[in-house]
Amino acid sequence: MRSKIISVGQLFSILVINRLVISMTFGSFSVNGKDIWDCLLSSVLILLLTFVLIIPVYKLCAKNSPLDICDISKFILGKFGNIITIFYGIYFALVCAHTLAIFKVFTENVMNPPISFVVLSTSMIIFSCYAASKGIEAIARSSAIILGFISIALVFLGFSLFKTIDFTNFKPFFYHEDSSLVDGTIFMLSRMSCIPIIGMLMSMVVGRVKNGIILWNIIVCFLMAVSIFFITGILGDLTTTRLFPFYTAASVAKISKFENLDAIYLGLWTAGVFIKLSILLNLSSECIRKVLGKKNTKLIIIIFGTVLIITNLSVKIFNISSGVFNTKFLFIITILASFVIPLFLLVCKKISNKKIEEGKISQRSI
């Protein structure tokens, strides 16, 4: 039986940071080079779709506490449940690699650090592996602190940037024939790794998880809409020419004598990447541990970290929108991990319970 070791607030922090890492790098490349203004509507649509998608995971974990989704799959399907556990392990590892790919592209195109990406990413992976080995509780505490700093920074950026908005940049929705509404919705859903994370962590949470999930979904969708509003208002048509328009908009921010607020943005975004990598490495290794039995979790984390380092050294082209990082592919496996598999387990559990009840009734009649 797993102990309750993190609070609803800490779970909320992990989930918000997980989404912000992607949201803060959202740009026209995310929607195939289209204008992102219609994606404001996508954020509203995502708010509603997320509440629908999360129902199977929430019901499954709430009814089978204190088991996580991998434990539940093994409880319902027996040894065949290991297939689902392996799938989740691979899924978390893939999201981890995708996050690192975004970090690579962002670093090389925006930050221009004095050291090579190989050194920087290797250091990031090593620190993330160390944090992952310390367990969920340590990561959760760190995420709560980092989210606090991110919140303050976003408020500062918002106040600073509001006066630079040009309201003539706002066009009517669907002004262009090639609307980004569908592309934006698919892109946002394809990066929705938070729902599988909830499936893994919900059994550890103390408090009313439902309230934390509702607040998380509303907050991240609101922030996404606000960021699109600011990006469009400040950059206008230039959003289609900037790889990371949110950073471009943040680079003009200043408050009184304080300039270069984009440096704060970079530091906090990097901290967010660190938290996301740490939680994904921890969950991925936990899935593998469940399959192999009671093995050394730290050793599994080291193996995962080594594979990521080797990948960085050997793969020269680490694109964030092709191959296994293609939006359509990520969309399919994310929907599988977030909705299809939990729904399948929920149906199997219901059928199993029905058979047990029918068996009890038949025994009574005899």
pLDDT at 316 over 60: no
Min mean pLDDT across 31-35, 133-137, 344-348 is at 31-35
pLDDT at 275 over 90: yes
CA-to-CA distance for 265 and 268, rounded, in angstroms? 5
pLDDT band of 259, cuts 50, 70, 90: low
Residues 286-312 have pLDDT tens digits of 998 888 876 677 788 888 888 887 777
Average pLDDT for the chain:
82
DSSP secondary structure code for residue 206 in this structure: E
The domain spans of the chain are 6-365
User: Which contacts (CB < 8 Å, 24+ apart) does range 290-295 have?
Assistant: 290/70, 290/71, 290/74, 290/82, 290/85, 291/82, 291/85, 291/86, 291/89
Residues 324-344 have pLDDT tens digits of 778 888 999 999 999 999 999
> What pLDDT sits at residue 1?
45
DSSP secondary structure code for residue 79 in this structure: G
pLDDT at 35 over 50: yes
Nearest to 88 by CA among 234, 198, 249, 9: 198
pLDDT band of 113, cuts 50, 70, 90: low
Residues 114-133 have pLDDT tens digits of 667 778 888 888 999 999 88
For residues 317 and 307, the model is more confident at 307
Residues 206-253 have pLDDT tens digits of 888 999 999 999 999 998 898 888 888 888 777 777 777 777 777 766
pLDDT band of 257, cuts 50, 70, 90: low
> What pLDDT sits at residue 220?
92
Q: Are 73 and 81 in contact (CB under 8 A)?
A: yes
Nearest to 38 by CA among 211, 200, 246, 228: 228
CA-to-CA distance for 92 and 350, rounded, in angstroms? 27
Question: Tokens at residue 18, please?
Answer: 């997980």
For residues 321 and 217, the model is more confident at 217
Residue-wise DSSP of 231-276: HHHHHGGGGGG-SSHHHHHHTT--BTTB--THHHHHHHHHHHHHHH
Q: Return all residues near 342 (Cβ < 8 A) that are at least 6 apart.
A: 56, 57, 60, 69, 199
Q: Are 197 and 18 in contact (CB under 8 A)?
A: yes
Dihedral angle over CA of 111, 115, 117, 123, nearest 10: -110
* Model pTM above 0.95: no
pLDDT at 363 over 70: no
pLDDT at 56 over 90: yes
Instruction: Detail the DSSP E strand segments found in the chain.
Output: 6-7, 205-206
pLDDT band of 313, cuts 50, 70, 90: low
Q: Are 67 and 203 in contact (CB under 8 A)?
A: yes
Residues 57-110 have pLDDT tens digits of 999 988 887 889 999 999 898 888 899 999 999 999 999 988 888 888 777 777
Nearest to 196 by CA among 292, 100, 279, 112: 279
The topology under which CATH files domain 6-365 is Amino acid/polyamine transporter I (1.20.1740)
Q: Are 181 and 267 in contact (CB under 8 A)?
A: no
* Three-state DSSP state, 227: helix
Sign (positive/negative) of CA torsion 202, 203, 206, 210? positive
